[in-house]
Amino acid sequence: MKAPVRRIHFDDMVARRKAELLAAASAQLPFEEKDFACYTDDEIRTFAFDVRKLFLTERAKHLAICSRCQRRLEYWSGLVENFDRATPLQEGRADA
C-alpha cells in the first residue's frame, strides 16, 4: 500500500508500424514474395472490425496492389458499419 505510484509507458505500435511503412514506401523497397499472397477470409474480417490491425501485419503492402482484397475489405467493412448502425444502443453500448 505504501509503494510509490508508477507510470508505465507503452509505445503506440500502430503509429510506429505506420511510420515504418511510410519510410519503406519512400525508400522504394521492392516487394517480397509474401507481399503478393492474398489475405485469408479471417484476416479480412479481423481488419474490417479494426483496421489498425492491418498496419501491425508484415504484409500491409499487399492491400495497395490487390484489388480483390480491397473489395473484400470494403465489403466486410460495410457489413460491420451497417451492423453498428442497426444495433440498438443502451447507455452507449450494444445491448447483447
Per-residue pLDDT of the chain (96 residues; tens, 9 = 90+): 788 888 888 888 888 888 887 777 666 667 788 888 999 999 999 999 988 898 888 888 888 888 999 999 999 999 988 887 887 766 666 655
- Domain, as residue range, for 50: 38-86
The reply to whether 20 falls in a domain is no
- Calpha distance 67→71 (Å, rounded): 6
Give every CB contact of residue 54 below 8 A, 6+ residues apart in sequence: 47, 60, 63
The reply to whether 52 falls in a domain is yes
The reply to whether 28 falls in a domain is no
Number of separate domains in the chain? 1
**Unique residue bearing C-alpha cell 484489388:** 67
- Calpha distance 10→39 (Å, rounded): 29
The reply to whether 81 falls in a domain is yes
The alpha helices in 1-96, defined as continuous H runs, are: 13-26, 41-49, 52-55, 62-65, 67-86
The reply to whether 49 falls in a domain is yes
